Amino acid sequence: MSDEFYIKRCLELAILGIGNVSPNPMVGCVIVLNDKIIGEGYHQQYGKAHAEPNAVKAVFDQYGDEAANLLKQATAYVSLEPCAHFGKTPPCADLFVKHQIKKVVIGNRDPFSSVDGKGIEKLKNAGIEVISGVLDDECRSLNRRFFTRIQQQRPYIILKWAETANGYFATKDGHQKWISGALAKRLAHQWRTEEDAILIGKQTAIMDNPQLTAREWPGKNPIRLVIDKSLQVPLSNHIFNAEAKTIIFNEIKTDVVDNIHYIQMEDMHFYLAQKIAFQLYLMDIQSVIIEGGANILNQFLSTNLWDEARIFTSSNSWTDGVPSPTINGNLKEQIQIGNDKLSIYINDINK
């Protein structure tokens, strides 16, 4: 089998950690001997073992006393450069050196300054053959959230909204009127389990009274983020329940009340999108879905602070309403979700 085949398997394993390893990257590792996988693993949870020790452990679990000798003859495939520093766990590069792995094939170099080539250097200095850059684009795409946080000092930003067939986004009177169907809603809840946080503005919080949870899909709830400059959202609204951590960006106070965190910001009418993005970076929030309303979405669009847009278009039309935001980006794909069309755009300017 080719190097590409085994790196693809690493990616299949890595994605299993989505939503659970942030702000770490998703990583998969496969250990191969004589064209046979003898162990594999992935990074399952932040703070716990990385992909490489999980794969090595799998070899020992399967082969017992033979494992040490097998590893000396084996090739380890890993989707991201093994770490070279002590963090929550010991360096994975040292683990491969300890077991005298014969060869290591890597997808991406790790852009994090404590690693970035140092893991590869450790392996080579120990006499291990190293190949890197295999399926580089695919590996980078998988960890686009991680790369964005490290290289641009902000979270990966996903814009999401639904619009009617004739381009309306909300009712003129502000009352909630559902646009997309049940399948689209369930998919949106799956997305919530995959990202760190979800952001709305004050008007959406008041008029729609959303829960912002992933109740229709198994997995964790995202951190709820609300922009409420003057603290006008009623405390009886769903965002103040105990279902998830909630952060309220405002101009009045900084405080913590149970799971509700108030963060005071100055002059929120200036450079709001940039301030929010940097604040989330400081909080190690690696990805965020922005669900509106129109004002918040347009602020991120106008400042070009977005990476991906996911837009549901209904088959229904309205006679009037608030026009949808205008998106300028590269249309990556379109998928039919029940009666709705999902269009996914990528912001190539930020790449």
Residues 315, 229 share a domain: yes
CATH number for the domain harbouring residue 318: 3.40.430.10
The CA distance from 51 to 67, in Å, is: 17
Confirm or deny that 10 is annotated as ligand binding. Answer: no
Task: Give the pLDDT confidence of 305-351 residue by residue, as tens digits.
Answer: 999 999 999 999 999 999 999 998 999 999 999 999 999 999 987 65
User: Has residue 19 been placed in a domain?
Assistant: yes
Instruction: Give the pLDDT confidence of 17-68 residue by residue, as tens digits.
Output: 999 999 999 999 999 999 999 999 999 999 999 999 999 999 999 999 999 9
**Mean per-residue pLDDT over the chain, rounded:** 94
As for how many domains the chain has, the answer is 2
Torsion of CA 297, 308, 20, 186, to 10 degrees: 70
- Final residue before a domain boundary, out of 123, 145, 167: 145
pLDDT score at 350: 61
Q: What is the mean pLDDT of residues 103-131?
A: 91
Q: Which domain holds residue 183?
A: 153-346
**273 and 158 fall within a common domain:** yes
Residue 92, marked binder: yes
Residues 217 and 99 in one domain: no
The residue among 92, 113, 145 that closes a domain is: 145
208 annotated as belonging to a binding site for a ligand: yes
Q: Are residues 180 and 97 in the same domain?
A: no
Structural domain contains residue 300? yes
Tell me, yes or no, whether 265 lies in a domain: yes
Do 141 and 157 share a structural domain?
Answer: no
Active site residues: 52
Per-residue pLDDT, 174: 74
Does 29 appear as a known binding residue?
no
How far apart are alpha carbons 63 and 81 in whole angstroms? Answer: 26
Structure tokens at 105: 């094939």
Same domain, 186 and 284: yes
213 in a known ligand binding site: no
Residue 86 tokens read as 């002590």
199 and 118, same structural domain?
no
Q: What pLDDT was estimated at residue 175?
A: 78
User: Do 100 and 178 lie in a common domain?
Assistant: no
* Shared-domain flag, residues 181 and 313: yes
Per-residue pLDDT tens over the stretch 58-112: 999 999 999 999 999 999 999 999 988 776 777 899 999 999 999 999 999 988 8
Distance CA 253, CA 181 (A): 39
351 in a structural domain: no
Q: Using omega within 30 degrees of 0 as the cis cutoff, is the peptide bond preceding 47 cis?
A: no
Final residue of a structural domain among 88, 113, 145: 145
